[in-house]
Each structure stands twice: as C-alpha cells, then as structure tokens.
C-alpha cells in the first residue's frame, strides 16, 4: 500500500512540475469537452489527458483483476466439488470392501 501512495505522490509532483513549467508557456488552445468547449493552456490539456489515461488504465486493470478473481472463484468451487465427490467415492469403496471382507469371512466359516 505504501508503494501505491509513493506512486501517487510522485505522479502528483510530476503534474505540478509540468503545470509550473507549462504555465510559463502562454499558448492557449481550444479544448472540446463532451458538452463544453473551453480555452485552456496547453499544459492543462496535457494534465487532463494524463488523468484520463490513468483512469482508463485503472479501469482496464480492474477488469482484468475481476476476470482473474472470477476464474479463481470458479476453480475453488470446482475443487471443492471434486473433493466432495472423491470423499463420497472413497466411502463407497470402503463399504464395498467391508462387504467383500464379510462375504469372504462368511465363506471361510462354512
């Protein structure tokens, strides 16, 4: 968890440095949001692009983690089912072996 916060702090520092250096650049560009058109500095457009890229990356990573979690959950469920099946088969095999032993013992006694 500490590593995560370290990355966040370093990323925030890089964004601040980028904005500081970019603020020296007075170039203003037209930036179209989905519903709003605004004039922003070029550095601010880069920061918005960076943030959107990070959010998309986190979303995709979350989807991949969710996929692996569901696969692991399904595998655990199948393993549990197979263990129960093996235990049931083992009990049936033990019972049939006991019956066979009883039959052999009864035939020896006759």
Tell me the β-bridge partners of 39.
30
Report if residue 59 sits inside a domain: yes
Number of domains in the chain: 1
Report if residue 15 sits inside a domain: yes
* Total Cβ atoms within 10 A of residue 48: 13
110: confidence class by pLDDT, cuts 50, 70, 90: low
Report if residue 63 sits inside a domain: yes
Tell me the β-bridge partners of 19.
none
Q: Which domain holds residue 69?
A: 2-81
Q: Greater confidence, 73 or 32? A: 73
Max avg pLDDT among 28-32, 44-48, 84-88: 84-88
Q: What angle do CA 100, 104, 107 make, to 5 degrees?
A: 140
Dig out the tokens for 18 from the structure.
């980028």
Q: Greater confidence, 90 or 34? A: 90
109: confidence class by pLDDT, cuts 50, 70, 90: low
User: 14, 42, 47, 50: which is closest to 26 by C-alpha?
Assistant: 42
């Amino acid at each position: 968890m500490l590593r995560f916060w370290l990355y966040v702090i370093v990323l925030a520092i890089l964004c601040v440095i980028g904005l500081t250096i970019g603020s020296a650049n007075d170039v203003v560009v037209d930036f179209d949001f989905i519903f709003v058109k605004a004039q922003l500095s070029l550095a601010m457009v880069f920061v918005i692009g960076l943030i959107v890229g990070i959010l998309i990356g986190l979303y995709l990573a979350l989807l991949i983690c969710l996929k692996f979690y569901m696969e692991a959950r399904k595998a655990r469920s199948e393993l549990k089912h197979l263990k129960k099946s093996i235990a049931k088969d083992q009990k049936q095999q033990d019972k049939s072996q006991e019956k066979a032993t009883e039959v052999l013992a009864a035939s020896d006694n006759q």
